[in-house]
Structure 1
Amino acid sequence: MATENTPKAVMYWFPGSVWASVPRLVAVEKGLTDNELERRIVDLGKGENFSPAYLRLNPAGTVPCLVVPYEHTLDDGVKTKFKALCNTKDVVQFLDTSTNSSSFAAPSLSPATIEGSSTSKELIEHIHQDSIDPNTLLLVWRNEDERKAKAGGLPGGFLRGRQDALERYAKEAGDSDPKLKAFYDKKIQENGGLLALLEGKGDSSDIQAKAKALWANVGKTVELLESKLQPGAVYLLGDQISLADLHCGAWLARVLACAGATSITDTEAALKQLEANLDVKVGPKFAAWAQSLFERDSFKEVYGEDGLH
C-alpha cells in the first residue's frame, strides 16, 4: 500500500453496489484510511460506469475497480505504471495481502491453514455464482405486484438511468470505435429489453420463472451456510472474521434488502422478512452469524448510514 513517498491505490466504487461493499468492509477491518486508499465514486444509477473514460479503465464497466501501482515502478526516477484489478475477489485479496504487515493492527483476513483456505475459496466461489446473483435478484420479479413495485421504485429508476446514459454515450461515440459501438449496442438491447418488460411491455413469464429460481437457490445457500457454521463458532471459519464472511455478508445484506428489510439494527426482524420469501427456515447458527456480522464496526459503517443495499 501507499506510503508518504509512493502513489496511493485508487478504488472506484458506488454506495449501492453489493460487490463494492466487500472491499469497503475490508478497508474498515484493516484500518485503511484515505492516506492509503483513495476512493472515487462511479454513479451506476447515472450510468457513469459506461462512460468511455471508465471503460478504458475497466472494459466490463463494473465496480469495484482498484487501480494500483506496479511495485517495480516505485523507484525514484522511474515513471510509475499502474494496473487495474476489476474483479471483487482480486480487489479484496490485494487489499488484505498488501496490508499484512506491522504497520496495520488488523490481522490477515485470509485463512492461515490449507483446510481454511479451501473452505474459504469454496464459499467465496459459491456466493458469486450466477444462480444466486444478488444484482439480478434486485431487478427481477415473481409476480405482477412485484413488477409494479419495482417499476416505480429503485430498480425502475436504475434501469432508466442506465438506458439514458447508454443511448447518450452511444450517440456521442458514433461509429468511430467499432468495439465501443458493439458494447453500447449490446448493453442498450439488454438493458432496454429488461426495462420494457419491467414497465409491462411484453410477456415476462420467463423473468418470473428466473426470479422464483433465484429465490429458491437463495434458500439453498442459507441452508448451506448453516451447515458450514460449526457449533459455537462466531464466523464461517471459526472465531476470526475472514474474507469469506465479508463476501457472504455483503451478499446477505443485498438479499435482505431484496426481501424488504432496510436496516441492520434489528437482525431478527430482517431475517424474518427473509424467511417470508423462502421455502426454508433460517437456522440458529446462520442467525447468530448474521447478528455477529452486523454488530461489527465495518458493517455498521457500510450499512448503518446508507441502509441495506
Structure 2
Amino acid sequence: MSKPTLYTFGGSVWVHAPLIAITEGGYAPGDIKLETVNLAEGANFNPEFLKVNHNGTVPVLVSADGHKYESTISSVKEILKHAPKPPAHDAHHTHELDKIIKEIHNPAHDPNDLFVLPVDDADREAKAKGVVGGFLAGRQKALDTYAPTAPAEFKSFLEGKQRANGHLLAFFTGNPDQEARTALYTSAQNLWASAGTFIRGEVTHLLKKSSGPYLAGTEPGEADFHLVTWLARIITDAGVPPGSISGVALKAVEARTGGQPIDPVVAGFWDSWTQRESFKVNNVA
C-alpha cells in the first residue's frame, strides 16, 4: 500500500509546520514519505513538479489515495487528522486559534518576502552577496530553462515567474535608481511593521489568555505549529542564528519592528519551543 508523501525543502519556511506536526503527532519514521524539492535550484518550476502542485510551492501533501493538499494549512490539518497521537485541542478557543492560523499566513507579514526584500542599501548589498542573491540566481536559471519549452498549461505561469524573478534579481545585481530602491525598501519596512504589530497584538493577546506557554495551553496544538514556524523565520530574517535564546532573538526582532518591547509571554513561547524535540530534529529556522 502506498504511503502519503510530503514534498519539502529544508530551506523553506513553511515545510517546518507539517514536519513538526508529524513529529508531535506521533508518526513513526517512514509513515509519511518525504520528497525533497530543491527550491534554491528552481526544481519547483519543473513542469513535472507543477503537475503535483500548480502553484510551484512546498509543502504539498499527497495522501495515499492521491488526494493533494497544496497549502501549509491544509497539509498540517490532514496530517493531524490521522495522527497516532493527536495534539492538544482547546475547544474554548477554537475560533480564535483558527483565526490566528490564517493571520500567520497573511501576506502582509510574509517571512519569505522578509527573507528576500532589503530595508536599505547596506541590507541590499549584503543580501546580493549572500543566500538571497544565490537563491534568486538559481531560480532564474531554472525559469530560463523551463519557461521556453513548458507545456501550454504551465507556460503563462512560468513566464510570469521568469519576469518577476528577473526584475528582482536585476535589482540586486544591477544599479537601480533611487525611486526603485525607495519603493522596495518601503515595502520591506512595512512588512516588518506588520510583523511587529501582529506579535505585539494578536499573538501576545492569545498567549496571555492561555493556560500554558503555548497557544493551546500546556502542550502545543495545531496553531502553535504554524506560529513557531513563522516566528522562527522572522527571527532568522532579523539576522539571528536559528534557535537563539529569546533574549537575543526577540531583541533583534524588536529592533527590526520599530524598537518597542515585546511582551515576555512571547519569550516564554519561544524558549519552550526551542527545547522541544520536534523543534530540534526538524531544524526549525
| Fold shared per TM-score above 0.5 | yes
Instruction: Flag the structure with larger Rg.
Output: 1
Question: CA 1:112 to 1:221, structure 2 compared with 1: closer, same or farther past 3 Å?
Answer: closer
Residue 6 of structure 2 corresponds to residue 11 of structure 1: yes
Answer yes or no: is 1:237 the counterpart of 2:216: yes
1:30 aligns with one of 13, 25, 29? 25
User: How far is 1:112 from its partner?
Assistant: 4.7
Cα deviation code 1:26-58 (max 9, x no counterpart)? 111112233310101000000000001000111
From the two aligned structures, give the one with the greater helix fraction: 2
Residue identity opposite 1:86 in structure 2: E
How far is 1:211 from its partner? Answer: 0.3
Q: Which residue of 2 aligns with 1:47?
A: 42
Matched, 1:214 2:194: no
Deviations 1:74-105 (A, max 9, x none): xxxxxxxx121111100000000112xxxx2x
Residue aligning to 2:79: 95
Does 2:186 correspond to 1:179? no
1:199 aligned onto 2:173: yes
Counterpart of 1:287 (choices 256, 267, 271) is: 267
- TM-score, normalised with respect to structure 2: 0.93
Counterpart of 2:99 in structure 1 is 122
Counterpart for residue 164 of structure 1: 141
Tell me which stretches of 4 or more aligned residues in structure 1 moved more than 3 Å. none
Answering whether residue 66 of structure 2 is matched by residue 66 of structure 1, we say no
Indicate conservation of the 8 Å contact 1:97/1:108, yes or no: no
CA shift for structure 1 position 217: 0.7
| SS across alignment from 2:135 | helix
User: Does the 8 A contact of 1:275 with 1:281 survive in 2?
Assistant: yes
SS in 2 for 1:40: strand
2:204 equivalent in structure 1 = 226
In the alignment, the residues of structure 1 paired with residue 281 and residue 147 of structure 2 have an alpha-carbon distance, to the nearest angstrom, of 37
1:12 is paired with a residue of what secondary structure? strand
Per-residue CA shift, 1:263-290, capped at 9, x if unaligned? 3143321222222212221111111111
Residue 39 of structure 1: SS of its match in structure 2? strand
Give the structure-1-normalised TM-score: 0.86
Question: What is the CA–CA distance in structure 1 between the aligned matches of 2:71 and 2:160, rounded to whole Å?
Answer: 21
Distance (whole Å) between structure 2 residues aligned to residue 137 and residue 49 of structure 1: 20
Query: CA separation in 2, counterparts of 1:23 and 1:266?
Result: 23
Identity in percent: 32
In the alignment, the residues of structure 2 paired with residue 8 and residue 185 of structure 1 have an alpha-carbon distance, to the nearest angstrom, of 34
SS at match of 1:230: helix
Counterpart for residue 277 of structure 1: 256
Q: 2:231 aligns with which of 244, 247, 252?
A: 252
Distance across 1 between alignment mates of 2:114 and 2:141: 22
Q: Which runs of 5+ in 1 are unaligned?
A: 1-5, 71-81
Name 2:243's counterpart in structure 1.
Answer: 264
Q: SS at the partner of 1:171?
A: coil
1:125-158 per-residue CA deviation (whole Å, 9 max, x = no partner) reads: 1100010101011110111000000111111111
Asked if structure 2 preserves the Cα contact closer than 8 Å seen for 1:148 and 1:199, the reply is no
Is 2:5–2:63's contact at 8 Å kept on the other side of the alignment?
yes
The 8 Å contact of residues 230 and 238 in structure 1, kept in 2 or not, is answered as: no
Residue number in structure 2 paired with 1:149: 126
User: Alignment RMSD, CA only?
Assistant: 1.5
Q: How many equivalent residue pairs?
A: 279
Structure 1: distance between partners of 2:225 and 2:204: 16
Question: How far, CA to CA, are the matches of 1:97 and 1:193 in structure 2?
Answer: 41
List runs of 5+ in structure 2 lacking aligned partners: none
- Structure 2 distance, partners of 1:20, 1:249, is 12
Q: Is the 8 A contact 1:134 1:255 kept in 2?
A: yes
